[in-house]
Amino acid sequence: MNARTQPIDPESVQRSGHRGNSEILRSFRILRLTRICRMAKLVRFFPELQILIKAMLTAFRSVFFALVLLLASHYMVAIAYHVTLKGSAVGSASFDSVLASMQTIFIHCTLLDEVINLVDQFTAEGLYVHLVCMYSVMFINAITLMNLLVGIVVEVISNVAVAEREAVNVKWVEEVLSQLLGHVASVTQSELGVLLHGEAAHQAFELLGVDAEMLRETVRGRFKETPTGELSMTQVVEMVIQLRGTNAATVKDMVELRKWVDRSQQVMTSKLDALLNSQVIAKRPIVRRKLKGPRKDADADRKTLFSDGDADSPSEASLHSRRNSLAEKCTRA
C-alpha cells in the first residue's frame, strides 16, 4: 500500500498554536472577572445596603405575583385592542399583533411614555370607546399596580429595618453582658445583683432605655419562680430587651401581668390562711380550759388572753391592740 505523505506547513502549525494559547488566555481573563465578587465584602461595612438587599429578597415573592397580575392585565387588554382595531390605521401601526399590542400598552399606558401620540391617533379616527378604555388601563396599571409595587417594597424595607435593629440591639446587649459577666452559660441571683449595682451596667442600661430599679425587681421575681436558682444568658437578654421603655404594650404583656397578679393573690391568700390557722390553734387550749376547767382557772386564762386587769370585762383598748397586732402580722406576711 502506498502511503500518501503531505508536507507540513510550519505557518499553519504556528497559527494553531497561537489559537490554542489565545483560548487559554481568554479563559484566564474570564476567571479574572471573579475579582468583582470582592465588592460584596463592602456590603458588610454598610448596614443600609444589607437592609436593602434583604428587603429585596424578602419582597421577591410579593413583587413576583404583582408583576404576574400586571402581565395578565396587559395580555387581556392587548387581545381586546388587537381584535377590535383590525383594519384601522392605529391598529395597523401599533396593534398589529398581540405582542405589539402588549408593548404599546406597556410603553404608553403603564410607563406613560408619549401618551399624547396614542390619544391623538384614537381621537383622529373617532375611537372614543377605545380612548376611555385606555384611560381605564392607565388608572389600573400605572396608578394602582405600580404604586402597589412601591408600597410592598417600602413596607418590606421598614419591617426588615425594624428586625435588623432588634438584632443589633440583642447582639449589643449580649456583648455588654459578656464583658461584665464573662462568657458564662448561666448566672445566679447574687452574681446578677452585683452586676446591676455596678456603674458600668447602669450606663449600659440607660443607653438601652431600661430602668435599673425595675430590672432588679423583675430579676428578683424571676428568680423566685426559677426552681434551679439560675437563669441562662438567653433569658437574661430577653428580660433586658422586654423592659425597654420604647416597647409597646402587647397582648402577651397583659397576659403576663394577669398571671403575675394571680400568683401574688394566691401567695397572699395562703399566707393569710396560715396565719389565721396559727392564731386559732393557739387559742384552742384556752377555750377548752374555759369550758371544762374550774372558774378560777378560767379567770386566769382570761387574764392571760386579754392581758388586762379586769378579767370579767376586757377593755376596748385591749381588743383594739389585739386587732392592730394581727393586722400588722398580716401586712408583714
Q: Which of 105, 106, 85, 107 is nearest to 96 (CA)?
A: 85
Q: Where among 227, 247, 267 does a domain terminate?
A: 247
Q: Where among 247, 279, 296 does a domain terminate?
A: 247
Residue-by-residue pLDDT tens, the chain, 333 positions: 444 554 544 455 455 545 555 666 666 677 666 676 677 677 677 777 777 888 888 888 888 898 899 999 999 999 999 999 988 888 888 899 999 999 999 998 888 888 888 888 899 988 999 999 999 999 988 888 888 888 888 888 888 888 888 787 778 777 877 777 777 777 777 777 777 777 777 777 777 778 777 777 777 777 777 777 777 777 777 887 777 777 777 888 788 888 878 888 888 888 888 887 877 666 555 444 444 444 445 445 444 544 444 444 445 556 556 666 666 665 665
Whether 197 is in a domain gets the answer: yes
Under DSSP, is residue 250 helix (H, G, I), strand (E, B) or coil?
Answer: coil
Distance (Å, whole) CA 25 – CA 172: 49
CB 240 within 8 A of CB 210: yes
Q: What's the structural domain count of the chain? A: 3
Residues 194 and 106 in one domain: no
Question: In 38-114, which residue ranges form alpha helices assigned H by DSSP?
Answer: 47-58, 60-84, 89-94, 98-105
Query: Quick one: pLDDT at residue 308?
Result: 43
Whether 31 is in a domain gets the answer: no
Whether 12 is in a domain gets the answer: no
Residues 259 and 229 in one domain: no
Whether 32 is in a domain gets the answer: no
Packing angle of the helix pair 212-225, 233-242 (nearest 10 deg): 130
Q: Checking phi first, is residue 307 left (phi over 0); if not, alpha (psi -120 to 50) or beta?
A: left
Residues 69 and 149 in one domain: yes
Whether 177 is in a domain gets the answer: no
DSSP 188-202: EHHHHHHHHTSHHHH
Q: How far apart are the first and last CA of the chain?
A: 122
Whether 11 is in a domain gets the answer: no
CB 193 within 8 A of CB 216: yes
Whether 16 is in a domain gets the answer: no
pTM reported for the whole predicted model: 0.52
Distance (Å, whole) CA 172 – CA 222: 23
Query: Quick one: pLDDT at residue 310?
Result: 44
Q: Which range of residues forms the domain containing residue 237?
A: 184-247
Residues 116 and 68 in one domain: yes
Residues 91 and 159 in one domain: yes
Distance (Å, whole) CA 216 – CA 221: 9
Distance (Å, whole) CA 121 – CA 308: 115
Q: Where among 195, 213, 247 does a domain terminate?
A: 247
Distance (Å, whole) CA 64 – CA 78: 21
Query: Quick one: pLDDT at residue 288?
Result: 44
